[in-house]
């Protein structure tokens, strides 16, 4: 059952492959914003995956996040997603991220609960 308060955290070390320079979102060797957002999403979907019916999943439908502070290669980052609202099939999360020195990101993330097979079939019908 999906209830507010469910959360998960993803912890990782910033490597050269996760920098803005490496992923094409900038020229600097610091944690890329798209990577921070992807890790926030990973924390969100994994927080609820064990609570969904078999054959169901969730997909991101909105991310509104701020990247507050740069994190250099070698530092550890933790991203947390906490389910704050369940509105039918829509799930709303508070997402946060921090490194060893303090907060680096925050925002709101929304996901929709879907039937995996139906979703993929519809997506591939575009071809």
- The catalytically annotated residue of 19, 67, 71, 96 is 67
Nearest of 112, 55, 122, 67 to residue 89 by alpha carbon = 112
Please indicate whether residue 42 is annotated as part of the active site: no
Annotated active-site residue in 41, 71, 82, 109: 41
| 3 is an active site residue | no
Residue 96 falls in the annotated catalytic set: no
Query: One of 33, 46, 78, 84 is an active-site residue; which one?
Result: 33
Q: What is the DSSP string of the chain?
A: ---TT-EEEEEEE--GGGBHHHHTS-SSSBB-HHHHHHHHHHHHHHHHGGGSPTTEEEEEEEEEEEE-S--BTT-EEEEEEEEEEEETTEEEEEEEEEETTEEEEEEEEEEEEEEHHHHHHHHHTT-
Active site residues: 33, 41, 67
């Amino acid at each position: 059952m999906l209830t507010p308060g469910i959360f998960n955290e993803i912890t990782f070390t910033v490597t050269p492959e996760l920098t803005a320079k490496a992923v094409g979102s900038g020229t600097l060797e610091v944690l890329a914003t798209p990577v921070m957002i992807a890790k926030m999403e990973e924390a969100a979907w994994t927080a609820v995956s064990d609570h969904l019916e078999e054959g169901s999943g969730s997909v991101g439908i909105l991310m509104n996040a701020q990247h507050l502070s740069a994190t250099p290669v070698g530092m550890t980052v933790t991203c947390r997603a906490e389910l704050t609202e369940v509105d039918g099939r829509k799930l709303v999360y508070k997402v946060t991220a921090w490194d060893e020195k303090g907060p680096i990101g925050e925002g709101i993330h929304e996901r929709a609960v879907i039937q995996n097979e139906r979703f993929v079939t519809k997506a591939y019908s575009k071809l």
